[in-house]
Amino acid sequence: MKTKTPENINQYGEHYSDDGLFSKISNTFKKAGLKVIYYALILYYVLKDEHTSLKHKGIILGALGYFILPVDLIPDFIPVAGYTDDLAALAACISTIKSNITPRIERQARMKLREWFGDVDEKEVDKYNDWE
| pLDDT at position 18 over 60 | yes
Report d(CA 60, CA 1) in Å as an integer: 21
Please tell me the total number of residues recorded for the chain in this structure: 132
Residue 112 three-state SS? helix
Q: What is the mean pLDDT of the chain?
A: 83
pLDDT of residue 9: 63
* Single-letter residue type at 85: D
Annotated domain spans of the chain: 6-127
pLDDT of residue 59: 94
CA atoms within 13 A on the CB side of 31: 16
Give, to the nearest 10 degrees, the angle between helix 18-32 and helix 54-68.
50
DSSP state, residue 15:
G
Residue pair 85/1 in contact (Cβ under 8 Å)? The answer is: yes
Q: How many degrees, rounded to 5, is the angle at CA 51 between CA 59 and CA 11?
A: 15
pLDDT category at 1 given cuts 50, 70, 90 is: very low
Residue pair 11/62 in contact (Cβ under 8 Å)? The answer is: yes
